[in-house]
A and B are shown apart, each in its own frame.
Chain A
Amino acid sequence: MKVRECFELLAPHASEAVVISALGMAANEWWAVTRSDETFYMHGAMGFASSFALGVALTMPNPRTPVWTLNGDGSMCMNLGSLLTEASRQPDNLKHFVVANRCYQTVGGLPMAGRADTDYAAIARGAGVRDAITIRSLDEMRQALPRILAPGYLFTVLEVDCEAVPVIPPPQPFEGAEMKYRFGRHMERRFGVTVFGSQGY
């Protein structure tokens, strides 16, 4: 399964979701598919986008609004302990997707540590996550969509191909503080919350 095709299937169902993406391939591919500037593309802190999303999910003004984390397996493996934290909460509105290609794609597909058959869903279950699934094809993705879109916490591993060459789609043409303000202003408009004060900070 190609990550681009996988995201093309997923993206039309994201209109209700608040989306947080880890840096690297997940962010770049999501941007390529959606051109969404309502997504928070974390440009650093590799491994902590899922923690950031947990903070969003736990404090959403409407706790039924879905929060999606688009994580990478390289990122997740830098912060495996966060699965224990996430498992301790498992908010109903949080959907954690792990784009698993077993390699560092943006640097040329160099393999990650571990075995090709490392079972990320089993790792999540071992951490205490109740509901974890693995999707290996677009057909499985289509079949899983109702479960993905239903209320309730879900940890979903998306097994995608590792390409033999660097794959670096054009990244978002904004970064840093602009990323903060685009996402924060979107949250204010959509949910009526006050992220920034009267003086704009």
Chain B
Amino acid sequence: MPSPLPLSSQTDTADNYAAIHEAVKACGVTLAASLPDDWMAPLVNRLAADPSITHVRVARESEAIAIASGAFFTGARSIAVMGATGLFTCTGELATLNLRHQIPVFLLVSERGSLDDHRIYQEVQGRRLKPILDALDFPYFRIASPGDVARLPEAYEWCRLQKRPVVAFLARTLLKGKLKGKPVAAPAPTRADGGAGAERGSSR
């Protein structure tokens, strides 16, 4: 579905995706499990094309949590990659698998619902996700600049020390560039493109 906003071109932030990819490798990650949203898709494509990383595409985000958690026990370094909407659906598994058994899992997640995210489909879960993480005592932080990206390996080690899920929220400015222009009305979904189902799919 066309974006309702005139976004920056992806090439503006291609270097940032490359830097995130390199930072993931610097973490020593050899397994990545993912379900993308539109902000994370270019990173997922990079991880999938990297022969040094076993990349697993999942059908639901909680699978990525569990796959990454299992890999922890072979001494492998793993990450779960998803959109904020996907993380919103994982709270039960994060609590009853990772919190109960104190298994660290490092998540790269798009920071949907931020001030510069004007997609209506992201507002409800985006703005409420961080309070939920606070309630679960799952640490999170923003990655908003190349300098922040360079600190991902440090954050990865810190996650293991925390023995619980730790979320790195990737900011819009990093992935999509600055918001440009004034909001314009999104075209109404049609039956041909799946109606509400297509809206949800396009936001992931």
Check A45 against B92 for contact (C-beta < 8 Å): yes
* A interface residues with partner B (beta carbon < 8 Å): 20, 40, 42-46, 48-49, 51-61, 79, 81-82, 84-85, 88-89, 175-177, 179-180, 183-184, 187-188, 191, 193-195, 197, 201
Interface of A is mostly: helix
> When chains A and B are docked, how far (Å) is the Cα of A59 from the Cα of B33?
12
Please indicate which of the listed interface residues A43, A45, A61, A197 has the most CB atoms of chain B within 10 Å of its own CB: A45
Contact mask for chain B residues 41-59; partner A; CB cutoff 8 A; 1 contact, 0 none = 0000000000000101111
Residue numbers of B with Cβ under 8 A of A are 30-31, 33, 54, 56-60, 62-63, 65-76, 78, 92-93, 95-97, 100-104, 160-161, 163
B57, B97, B101, B102, most chain A CB atoms within 10 A: B101
CA–CA, A152 and B160, complex, Å: 33
CA distance A193 to B74 in the complex (A): 7
Output the residue of B33, B58, B161 with the most chain A CB within 10 A: B58
Contact residues in A for B56 (Cβ distance below 8 Å): 54-55, 58, 85, 88-89
Q: For the complex, what is the distance from the CA of A21 to the CA of B60, rounded to whole Å?
A: 20
Contacts of B93 in A (CB 8 A): 44-45, 48
Output the nearest chain B residue to A183 by Cβ-Cβ distance. Answer: B73
**Nearest neighbor of B68 in chain A, beta-carbon distance:** A55
Query: Cβ of A56: which chain B residues have Cβ within 8 Å of it?
Result: 70-71, 73-74
With A54-B70, A55-B66 known, 15 other A-B pairs at CB within 8 A are A45-B93, A45-B97, A51-B66, A51-B70, A55-B71, A56-B74, A58-B67, A58-B71, A60-B74, A81-B58, A81-B60, A85-B63, A176-B101, A180-B103, A193-B74
